[in-house]
Structure 1
Amino acid sequence: KDRRIPVYESSVGGGIGQPGSEVDYVDFNEKGGRDMPTAVHLLWLSYAERKFYQLDAELSENTKERMLKMFRKPYYMSDDNEHCRYFNLVITMLPGGKVWLHLNGIGRTAIVCDTLQAKEVHMELEDFDKDAFYTFKTLDNSCKLLLSDFEGAAENLEKHGVPLGLWDKYKEWYRYTTKIEFENKETKLGTHILYKFTNGDKYWDDDSIPKNIQTSCKYLAMDWQVKDSTYTGYFFFDEDEILRVYPKAFGNEGKLKGELVVQVSKYNNWFDIFLQVG
């Protein structure tokens, strides 16, 4: 039987894979759980493109199998010394009608599908959202004013347009792990290392899940201890640089293996960060 489950929360501008447009599985775990999703049905308005998109897609067997395995198998979180489970199916709508699906839980977000493609549909604003029609009157006014809620978005859009090929770069996979080296050999690395990636993936290093195939790392946070002093580093990688360097280092097909190396000086205030491939 076709049971349609609504998305109870939605948000705009939160970023790829960020909870806000998700189907929540938490409240249903105590009531026998939800059925596995088999399809996604969406209708939305892209403010940036001033277009409506519609998706009615059956999920592939590979996607359903991957989701089922992830829902069933917990991952470890050392903060609370417990095993956690994914409890949100996060739906991200991107320009060009692309739709990505992630599973999200405490401290972890993992992509499960990045191949769904919606089609553009033509409709009146009043048929899409009566409140928006009564407030803004036209589609152009609606998109213009709603986009103004995000500082700098309209100016950036006017200058650069919609970079439709950008998300293909975000989802490129590479075979690498991370190595952190300290010049001071008395340094002790903390157990909590947080990574965020261009495709929306996010995890802590000690969550017991293998990590050897990943997209480009855009953020890294870690702590380390030297005698009685504790240091914390937050590294925000330049997007243009990582999207240029990763494919150049790993090759167009991404088959080469490598390491993201972070070297910390003995003074704990100088860092060399580079990719080492081959």
Structure 2
Amino acid sequence: MLSFIFNSCQDKNKKTMKEEFKWKESVSCPLGYPVDVFMGGLELTDGGYTSLFSGLHTGKGGWGSEGRSMSHGKKPLPKRLNVIWISFVEKTFYHVDAELDYEKIVGLFKRGYYTLSMDKERPEPFREDYGTINVGFAPGGVAVVWAAGIGRQLEIGRYQGVKTEIPKEQVEKLKDEPEYSMLRPEYQESVIKNPGIIPQEVQDANKGKPIPIGKWDSYRKRYNWSMNLDIPDKGLSNRITCFSYNGEMEILFGDYQIERFKIPEELKWNTPRKRSIPKMITFSWITKENILKSGAITFNEAQIFKAFEELTQGMAEGIPLQITIRITHTGDDASVWLEGNGKSIGLYKSEVKIF
């Protein structure tokens, strides 16, 4: 099996594509569910290979966050994910061998995306490039691939791994290799009990509870929703960043930018679009006195998921919804609501910060 991974990386689809882009690989996992890649990685269009073996991943940045990289540089893009990894909490090895949506990946890398300038001398939006292929592993054998750049991350696809065992004869050959530690039950146990890997409060919260298989698939459900920033005294929205539970992230342009520059419709902050449910939204606005203010809304997971389900229950798919952030007239606090279908639900458990 161990040789199978490497051989398949070389033998499958020898067609060479010369297009190259500057990018790096990365591995992600949810906090509380550390993983390590045992063997394998991303197969490239020229028959080459980028390994995902880069050490233990703790998920401290959350699902979708980038981990370390070992091969940043110009090279062809990947066409296949072929990897064996260990889910420590499950004490299970998974193997996934799946074709990636290459056309989607190369389309994103060719087009790039527009983002906001932080340079006062050159305030015009500028083109940014995607530079990371991020691979996430979650319990139940879930593998998700994202394309990421500064301030942006989009899902490429979701793939299913299957439980696998490493043959004993191969285990014997690995006793002097770093991969061998993953096979030892005492090492696996030490990982899941280490508060430096899984914070003690997370261990305590998860103790006695079943692993929430399917949770990360539920994060992928999309709804047709847009944002509404209700600003007092004719202030103008400036920059809105949406961090979604499914690992996606996007920076959107507010009215202050839209009035000054030509902004693609899909990057305007109030354009309705199918998105997954947001985990956090950060925003800024320009007051009538031309003062820049900013804020952040961190949603309560149970409350916001329940609200989306309640407003769409029994309705046709694609019903438009709106997340409204109402800033107080004093500009130092805000409330947040989910609206749609003639109803409005206050998301009172959200954490609100205004800076």
TM-score by length of 2: 0.67
Distance 1:268 1:89, change over 3 A: same
Q: Report how far residue 121 of structure 1 moved.
A: 0.8
How far did residue 221 of structure 1 move?
Answer: 0.9
Taking the aligned partners of 1:37 and 1:83, their CA distance within structure 2 comes to: 23
Out of 121, 129, 139, the position equivalent to 2:164 is: 121
Counterpart of 1:215 (choices 276, 281, 284) is 276
Pick one of 127, 144, 147 that aligns with 1:100.
144
* Deviation readout 1:147-167 (Å, 9 max, x if unpaired): 222213332332322101211
| Aligned residues between the structures | 264
1:270 matched to which residue of 2? 333
Query: Counterpart in 2 of 1:150?
Result: 198
Return the offset for 1:244: 1.7
Q: 1:93 deviation in Å?
A: 0.7
Give the aligned partner of residue 187 of structure 1: 235
CA distance in 2: counterparts of 1:156 and 1:126, whole angstroms:
37
Percent sequence identity is 17
User: Deviations 1:56-110 (Å, cap 9, x if unpaired)?
Assistant: 1123xxx222212111112112225420111111000111001000000111111
**Matching of residue 249 in structure 1 with residue 311 in structure 2:** yes
CA distance, structure 1, for counterparts of residue 126 and residue 229 of structure 2? 26
Q: Is structure 2 residue 244 aligned with structure 1 residue 197?
A: yes
Q: Tell me the secondary structure at the aligned position of residue 240 of structure 1.
A: helix
Once residues 39 and 133 of structure 1 are traced to their aligned partners in structure 2, the CA distance between those partners, rounded to angstroms, is 26
Partner residue of 2:48?
Answer: 3
Equivalences for 1:49-198 in 2 at 5 Å? 49-59=90-100, 63-79=101-117, 81-114=125-158, 116-123=159-166, 130-131=177-178, 133=180, 138-139=184-185, 141-147=186-192, 148=194, 149-152=197-200, 153-182=202-231, 184-189=232-237, 191-198=238-245
Q: Computing the radius of gyration over CA atoms, which structure comes out larger, 1 or 2?
A: 2
Deviation at 1:258, TM superposition (A): 1.5
Letter paired with 2:246? N
Q: C-alpha distance in 2, partners of 1:272/1:204?
A: 21
Tell whether the 8 Å contact from 2:320 to 2:340 is kept in structure 1 after alignment: yes
Supply the distance in 1 between the matched residues of 2:250 and 2:276 (Cα, whole angstroms): 13
SS for the counterpart of 1:205 is strand
1:142 CA drift (Å): 1.8
- Larger RCO (alpha carbons 8 Å, 6+ apart): 1
> What whole-Å deviation, never above 9, does each CA across 1:178-210 have from its counterpart, x for those lacking one?
01112x223232x22111001111111128471
Equivalent residue, structure 1, for 2:28: none
3-state DSSP class of the match of 1:220? Answer: strand
Partner letter of residue 118 of structure 1? G
RMSD: 2.6
Residue matched to 2:122 = none
Task: Please give the alpha-carbon distance, in whole angstroms, between the structure 2 residues aligned to 1:127 and 1:245.
Answer: 53
